[in-house]
Amino acid sequence: MWERILVILRKELIQTLREPRMRVLLFVPPMVQLVVFGFAVNLDVDHARIAWMDMDRSPLSRDLRERFEGSGRFDVVSMPRNEDEVQQTLDRGLAQAVVRVLPGFERDVLRNRATEVQVLVDGSNSNTASLVSSYAGEIIADFSSNVAAGQQKVRVLTRSPNSAVAMTFPNVKASSRVWFNPDLHSRNYFVPGVVANIIMMVTLMLTALAIVREKEIGTMEQLMVTPIRPIELMLGKTLPFAVVGLLDVVLISSVALLVFHTPFRGNPLLLLFCAVLFLMTTLGAGLFLSTISQTQQQAMMMNFFFSTPAFMLSGFAFPIRNMPVVVQYLTYLNPLRYFMEIVRGIFLKGVGISVLWPQMVAMAVYGVAVVCLSAARFRKKLD
Amino acid sequence: MSYRRLRAVFIKELHHITRDARSLAMALAMPVMMLLLYGYALSLDVDRIPTLIYDQDGTAASRELVRQFQGSRFFDIRGLVNSYAPIQNGIDRNQILMGVVIPRDYSKNAGAGREAPVQILLDGSDSNTASIVLGYAESVVRSYSLQLRQDMQNRRGGERGGAPVDARLRVWYNSSLESKNYVVPGLIAVILQIIAALLTSLTIAREWEMGTMEQLLSTPLRPAEMVLGKMLAYFAVGVADALMAVLVGVFVFTVPLRGSWLLLGVSICVFLVGVLFWGIFVSAVAKTQLAAYQMGILSSFLPAFLLSGFVYSIETMPPVIQVITHIVPSRYVVTILKGIFLKGVGLTVLWGELGFLTLYAAIIFALATRKVNQKLA
């Protein structure tokens, strides 16, 4: 039996690696994904472009501008002079926000009258918009409390010059500590996720196509007249891709560590073990796809149908917590969801089996079920 | 270019499309399904953040601060705990995102008018959510601090000072800051890009694999006619997809469509033509369906999803990649769709993008024709 499996395995490896394009496609897409997610994809907002409209032109308004620029989060890119230019700036997306200091700003502040600074935010990207408004609000609030403290000092001192001690006021401050990713780089969040994505992309599709191609070309009949048994054929067809998948895990993890300096706090062996559990589900699903498609085109469409939702609903880019409750329940059917949690847990949080066992059990159950189901279907098709 | 031969290819290709009912049904159903699913599911809005509070102080003053967090709609207080362990555990297991720790000397410090720090512990692994959560937490604490200060001033009989400068935030185009309003227009662009590239990327590779290319070769058909005819057949499917997607966006997701319908239609059509040509080009380069599919997905899905500015803003990318995004057609159509939907701007702002899409379609048409020509020779 092992002899026959080995033969199929060799045939499959030769067939996959024979074509130069396939060789490229096995390793290039994973690398491209990694580079793009590592370098390009970024939800962080620093150096947001703002336009500054100063209608007051006073020392105080210049002071406020310096605070914006000094924060390192904003770059002033233009100085609109009238409403029209403000409209143009936002319409064309030249700046993400316009800060407008109204005339009489300094006068009002010095007379201790409440005044406001207008911040017009381009909301067409709501994520950037909420970060920009929270940063802007923070700077203005700091500015305001400084100004207020300064005035208080002046007032208290002028009233009773000797009681300078009594002028302190409570100041409740949030001191934050961010765990696992203290600099809040989105790269650290995305790169481990790529590991999970790529295993799915590569193995699911290759398995499905390897079998359907034989059907389409008609070589499946030739295989069936050989003494090979269905189970052997199945193993021979899936094992090469399992190997490719594991190689991809090692390759991508090394690049993540060496090039992107992603923290890796957990146990690498646990990661490999979980990858094997996850491979069971993707290879099983690949087999299943092959039993329901007749042509390669159908298999690709079905694959697309299966893997895109798995990708989108895995929590990779969009937090599952934000999804509607119905969809959240749907994600429990998605094996990638569990693996995504495991990969991030191992890379970033350094947690072990004691925390990750529910996900591992879910994947194991899922994997065994999918493999059995598709093996049964596959057998029936062959007989 | 002969109209008769063009029509012949067009009709032949239509037969291919309608004969495989399953693939056609999928090509028509997929965009709407994807839009419905992702439009609801893909959201970066952050609210109801699961939070645990560890109040070491346990005084009236600290309970008042806890109430501030409970009162905010952004936080979902899962309970009060008595040690760090449940917070650590909860964050490890992804059950909570944030822990608030009020130190033992909080009320003493606040009462004495000293600085009273409140510790915020955050799960930073999702950096985007974490920075938004941080902003919310800081603003809750800040406004509470301000309120305390005012109360104290009033008690001391000083004149009401308060914060003299107030930030007045106004959000344009999407005043409720709902992420669906910016996800859905971008999503329409991304979905169309993927579907269109998928549709055509298999057509020529299939002819090679099936051996029917030789038969086409022996006819007087010219490459340009073949490319154009094939494109037109799939264009019909693409337009149907686009129409459904836009209708779903407007009527199901109630995304405001502030600009012109006509401009929207024209831009989408120009974009579709370009992407369909691209699929044919890929198909001519790759000889097998598998390679064509892989190349089609790789060259359409990833750039459309990642480099188009659909969710990830282009300005934050490194300069080299920003330059690359200029050759990604979905970048322009995403700008156009967001512009027309949310900002209601017209040709005066968007002519550059539309011009590029037209140019793109023309260039890719030339490339595809040349490639097919080479293959024929």
**A187 found inside a domain:** no
Residues B95, B8, single domain; the answer is no
**B167 found inside a domain:** no
What ipTM was estimated for this complex?
A: 0.73
Are B42 and A318 an interchain contact pair (Cβ–Cβ within 8 Å)?
yes
Tens-digit pLDDT string for chain B (377 aa): 788 888 888 898 888 888 888 778 888 888 888 888 888 877 777 778 899 999 998 888 889 889 989 888 889 999 899 999 999 888 888 888 899 999 888 888 887 777 888 888 888 888 778 888 888 888 888 888 888 877 777 776 655 555 556 666 676 776 666 778 878 888 898 888 888 888 888 788 888 778 887 788 778 888 888 889 889 999 999 999 999 999 999 999 888 888 899 999 999 999 999 999 998 898 888 877 777 877 887 788 778 888 888 877 777 778 888 888 888 888 899 889 988 888 888 888 888 899 999 999 999 999 998 988 876 55
Q: Are B190 and B305 in contact, with CB atoms under 8 Å apart?
A: yes
Residues A205, A342, single domain; the answer is yes
**A342 found inside a domain:** yes
Residues A79, A211, single domain; the answer is no
Q: Please tell me the predicted confidence (pLDDT) of residue A165.
A: 43
Instruction: Assign residue A120 a region (left: φ > 0; alpha: ψ between -120 and 50; beta: otherwise).
Output: beta
pLDDT tens, B17-61? 888 887 788 888 888 888 888 888 777 777 788 999 999 988 888
Interface of B with A in 346-375 (CB under 8 A): 349
Distance CA B275, CA B331 (A): 12
Residues B268, B355, single domain; the answer is yes
SS3 state at A118 = strand
Distance CA B133, CA B75 (A): 9
**B164 found inside a domain:** no
Residues B226, B361, single domain; the answer is yes
Residues B184, B150, single domain; the answer is no
pLDDT tens, A273-329? 999 999 989 988 888 888 888 887 778 778 877 888 888 888 887 888 778 888 888
Test the A interface: residue of B169, B209, B324 with most A CBs within 10 Å: B169
How close does chain A come to B167, measured CA to CA in Å?
5
Residue labelled with tokens 């057609």: B329
**Chain B residue at shortest CA distance from A34:** B302
**A182 found inside a domain:** no
**B237 found inside a domain:** yes
Residues A81, A133, single domain; the answer is yes
Instruction: Domain of residue A158: give its range.
Output: 48-167
How close does chain A come to B1, measured CA to CA in Å?
31
pLDDT tens, B50-99? 999 999 988 888 898 899 898 888 899 998 999 999 998 888 888 888 99
Q: Average pLDDT by consecutive 10-residue portion of chain A (383 residues)?
A: 79 77 71 77 77 89 88 87 86 85 85 82 78 85 78 61 50 70 76 85 82 80 78 82 86 87 89 92 88 80 81 83 84 91 88 88 91 83 63
Q: Which two tokens stand for residue B114?
A: 């000293």
List % helix, strand, coil for chain A (3-state, nearest 5).
70, 10, 20
Are B164 and A209 an interchain contact pair (Cβ–Cβ within 8 Å)?
no
**A178 found inside a domain:** no
How many inter-chain contacts (A to B, CB under 8 Å) are there?
A: 349
Q: Are A185 and B127 in contact, with CB atoms under 8 Å apart?
A: yes
**A288 found inside a domain:** yes
**A176 found inside a domain:** no
Q: Are A177 and B98 in contact, with CB atoms under 8 Å apart?
A: no
Interface of A with B in 244-263 (CB under 8 A): none
Residues B38, B78, single domain; the answer is no
Residues A352, A264, single domain; the answer is yes
**B170 found inside a domain:** no
Residues B196, B343, single domain; the answer is yes
- Give the pairing type, strands B98-102 and B165-172: unpaired
Q: Is B230 on the interface with A (CB under 8 A)?
A: no
**B325 found inside a domain:** yes
Residues B248, B352, single domain; the answer is yes
Residues A148, A28, single domain; the answer is no
Interface of B with A in 57-76 (CB under 8 A): 65
Distance CA B22, CA B17 (A): 10
**B98 found inside a domain:** yes
Domain boundary (A167, A185, A207) is at A167
What's the Cα-to-Cα distance from A60 to each of A54, A108, A139, rounded to whole Å? 11, 11, 14
Q: Please tell me the predicted confidence (pLDDT) of residue A163.
A: 47
- Give the pairing type, strands B115-123 and B165-172: unpaired
Task: Look up the CATH number of the domain holding residue A146.
Answer: 3.40.1710.10
Residues A37, A91, single domain; the answer is no
Domain boundary (A115, A150, A167) is at A167
Q: Which two tokens stand for residue B82?
A: 């008595």
> Cα-atom radius of gyration of chain B, to the nearest Å?
29
From the list A37, A152, A186, the residue facing B128 with the nearest CB is: A186
Are A36 and B294 an interchain contact pair (Cβ–Cβ within 8 Å)?
no
Residues A240, A355, single domain; the answer is yes
**A180 found inside a domain:** no
Phi, psi of A54 (to 5 degrees): -100, 105
Residues A139, A207, single domain; the answer is no
Test the A interface: residue of B22, B24, B312, B341 with most A CBs within 10 Å: B312
Residues B118, B210, single domain; the answer is no
**Count of domains observed in chain B:** 2
- Give the pairing type, strands A115-122 and A97-101: antiparallel
Q: Which two tokens stand for residue B72?
A: 């905010």
Give start and end residues of each alpha helix (H) in A160-267: 186-217, 219-225, 230-258
Task: Look up the CATH number of the domain holding residue B148.
Answer: 3.40.1710.10
Question: Chain A partners of B297 at a C-beta cutoff of 8 Å?
Answer: 304
Which residues are registered as beta bridge partners of B101? B54, B119
Residues B32, B106, single domain; the answer is no
Q: Are A169 and A153 in contact, with CB atoms under 8 Å apart?
A: no
No. of H helices and E strands in chain B? Answer: 15, 5
Which residues are registered as beta bridge partners of B80? B53
Residue labelled with tokens 């269109």: B196
Residues A268, A295, single domain; the answer is yes
Distance CA B127, CA A43 (A): 8
Domain boundary (B101, B124, B155) is at B155
Residues B192, B274, single domain; the answer is yes
Q: Is B16 on the interface with A (CB under 8 A)?
A: no
Residues A228, A264, single domain; the answer is yes
Q: Are B300 and B282 in contact, with CB atoms under 8 Å apart?
A: no
Domain boundary (A167, A202, A222) is at A167
Residues B241, B120, single domain; the answer is no
Residues A220, A119, single domain; the answer is no
**Chain B residue at shortest CA distance from A28:** B298
Residues A258, A154, single domain; the answer is no
Instruction: Domain of residue B76: give its range.
Output: 49-155
**A26 found inside a domain:** yes
Phi, psi of A324 (to 5 degrees): -60, 150
**B75 found inside a domain:** yes
**B110 found inside a domain:** yes
Q: Please tell me the predicted confidence (pLDDT) of residue B376.
A: 59
Q: Which long-range contacts (CB under 8 A, 24 or more apart) does B224-227 make?
A: B224/B1, B224/B369, B225/B1, B225/B2, B225/B5, B225/B6, B225/B9, B226/B9, B226/B372, B227/B277, B227/B280, B227/B365, B227/B368, B227/B369, B227/B372
Distance CA B135, CA B139 (A): 6
Q: Which two tokens stand for residue B174?
A: 């999407």
Residues B146, B193, single domain; the answer is no
pTM: 0.77
**Count of domains observed in chain A:** 2
